[in-house]
Structures are given as structure tokens and as C-alpha cells.
Amino acid sequence: MHHVKPHTPDHRGSQIENQSGIICDLKKHTSKTILKAIADNPQESRREWMLSMFEWAGKQNTNNKNYQFWEQHNQPIELNTTLLMETRGRKLLLQH
């Protein structure tokens, strides 16, 4: 009797596409939420300046309607070890 091995699809490509979609949705949601929070907070002393900077950045890219909050590229880095988390955290602190 001949046994046919079941086909197991390779989902790596679809996982990457799915991750990109999730990241896109996350960026869209967080940018709208944060921009609204800035715009709706009259006590934020830098409100006008921040909104004008996001608006200026948005005008630099034709993919945007009004504002640009996130960078356009999508290069997530998996922080799956303590060393990677510490190294990436230090790098981010040094940038600011």
C-alpha cells in the first residue's frame, strides 16, 4: 500500500505578509490615537509645534493625506534575547 504524504504548506511568506499588515494596522491606529490626543489637549504646550512638524513631514510624502507620524520603512527587529533588548534600548537612548 502506497502512502501519500500530506502536503504541508509553507506559511513563511504569508506570515511575513501578515506581520506587515499587523504592523501597518498598528501604526495607523496608534498614529491616529496619538495625534488626536495631542490635538485635543489644550494643556499641551507644544501642541501646535508638534502638529505642524507632523504636517510638514506628511507633505513631504505623497502617500500621506495630512500627517506623517511613523517612518515609512518597515524593518522590524525581533528582540528575542536580553542582550538584543539591552543593545537596542541603549541605541535608542543614544539617538535621543
Taking only the tens place, the pLDDT of each residue in 30-82 is: 999 999 999 999 999 999 999 999 999 999 988 888 898 888 776 777 778 88
Residue 22 within any structural domain of the chain = yes
Cα 32 from Cα 14, distance rounded (Å): 27
Q: What is the pLDDT of residue 19?
A: 78
Residue 81 within any structural domain of the chain = no
Distances (CA, A) of 84 to 16, 19, 73, 91, 96: 21, 20, 21, 10, 19
Residue 53 within any structural domain of the chain = yes
Residue 50 within any structural domain of the chain = yes
pLDDT category of residue 12 using cuts at 50, 70 and 90? low
Identify the domain containing residue 32 by its residue range: 15-72
Residue 38 within any structural domain of the chain = yes
Residue 41 within any structural domain of the chain = yes
Cα 13 from Cα 91, distance rounded (Å): 30
Q: 47 near 41, Cβ under 8 Å?
A: yes
The domain tally of the chain equals: 1
